[in-house]
Amino acid sequence: MLPDIVSNYSYRTGEIVKVHVAKLKESQHANCNQIAEGVKQHYFADTHFHVSDFFTKNTKGIEQSIQGLPFTCFTKRLFAFSHVLLEIMLDRKLLKEQQQVCDTFYSMLQQVDLAVLEQFLIENTKAKHPGKAAEHFSTFCRRRFIYEYLENDVVSEMLNRINQRIGNPPFSASDYIHFNTLIHEIDEELYSQKFPKFLPEK
């Protein structure tokens, strides 16, 4: 999760902070090494998920659903938008069906020592303000914004901003209406599916 959080920090502040898994350094601080292992697991899971049949089928299904509605706001990079939307809708499905997983997720994140995280960022990124990046992580934990994914209006506004970031025009009034229809269709489609075990057996 850390790579995604620092990516969001970069977007909000304009300071480029990236955690490259291939450039992680062995630290003299054992807790920094634990964070590094977590980053490796994040990328490992991401890699396998993004080549899974589940991911391919559902991103393609979202693209087809979008193309079946009279949107005016998608002129490029529909796959990128569908990719992000699928992951948000899966978080939403998790909240509806197994909220305790999200509770545990935030509980574990809040155990991270911000001083250790700052040291990790100093050692493994080019952050000019590692303390501010660590504080952004703390804000992420406090806000618990994933719980807001249950609200259609919140999801719509979030995806409107993301869509503009990838170079598309903002949602129009009619696009917001169509997007609510799209959310309902994806909810229905994911409801009948079980999340697969896409990681290889150890």
Q: pLDDT per residue over 87-126, tens digit each? A: 999 999 999 999 999 899 899 988 999 999 999 999 998 9
Ordered alpha helix ranges (H), 28-129:
30-50, 53-67, 78-97, 99-109, 114-124
> Is the distance from CB of 50 to CB of 32 less than 8 angstroms?
no
| Helix then strand then coil, % of the chain, to nearest 5 | 70, 0, 30
pLDDT at 164: 96
Is this prediction's pTM over 0.85?
Answer: yes
pLDDT at 73: 96
Q: Which range has the top average pLDDT, 8-17, 64-73, 136-145, 193-202? A: 64-73
Single-letter amino acid code for the residue at 190: L
What was the pLDDT predicted at 197? 78
The whole-angstrom separation of Cα 89 and Cα 16 is: 27
CA-based nearest residue to 199, from 90, 43, 69, 65:
43
Output the CA–CA distances (angstroms, integers) from residue 113 to 23, 31, 157, 178, 198, in the order listed: 22, 9, 32, 43, 31
- Other CB atoms within a 10 A radius of the CB of residue 115 amount to 12
Question: What's the CA gap between 78 and 40, in Å, rounded?
Answer: 28
Average pLDDT of the segment spanning 59-75: 95
- Band (202; pLDDT cuts 50, 70, 90): low
Mean pLDDT of the chain: 91
Calculate what percentage of the chain has a pLDDT beyond 90.
68
Per-residue pLDDT band at 62 (split at 50, 70, 90): very high
pLDDT (tens digit per residue) in 151-201: 999 999 999 999 999 999 999 999 999 999 999 999 999 988 887 777 777
Q: Kindly list the domain boundaries of the chain, sorted by start residue.
A: 2-191
